[in-house]
C-alpha cells in the first residue's frame, strides 16, 4: 500500500494534469486496494 501511495504522489508531482483528479479518488483507491487483495468486496 505504501508503494501505491508513493506512486500516486509521483504521478501528481510529474503530471500537473493529475491535480485535476480529486484526492478522494486516490484515498478511496488506497482504502480499496487492501480490500481487493484480501478478496473481499464491500
> Dihedral of the CA atoms 20, 24, 29, 30 (nearest 10)?
120
d(CA 17, CA 2): 23
Tens digit of each residue's pLDDT (9 = 90 or more) over 11-38: 666 666 555 667 777 777 778 877 766 6
Give me the domain span that covers residue 7: 2-38
Cβ(4)–Cβ(30) under 8 Å?
yes
Number of domains the chain contains: 1
| Long-range own/partner contacts, residues 2-6 (CB < 8 A, 24 or more apart) | 4/29, 4/30, 4/33, 5/30
| pLDDT in the model for residue 1 | 59
Stretch 5-12: mean pLDDT: 73
Amino acid at each position: 500500500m505504501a508503494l501505491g501511495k508513493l506512486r500516486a504522489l509521483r504521478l501528481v508531482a510529474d503530471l500537473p494534469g493529475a491535480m485535476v483528479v480529486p484526492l478522494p479518488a486516490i484515498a478511496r483507491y488506497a482504502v480499496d486496494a487492501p480490500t481487493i487483495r484480501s478478496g473481499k468486496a464491500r
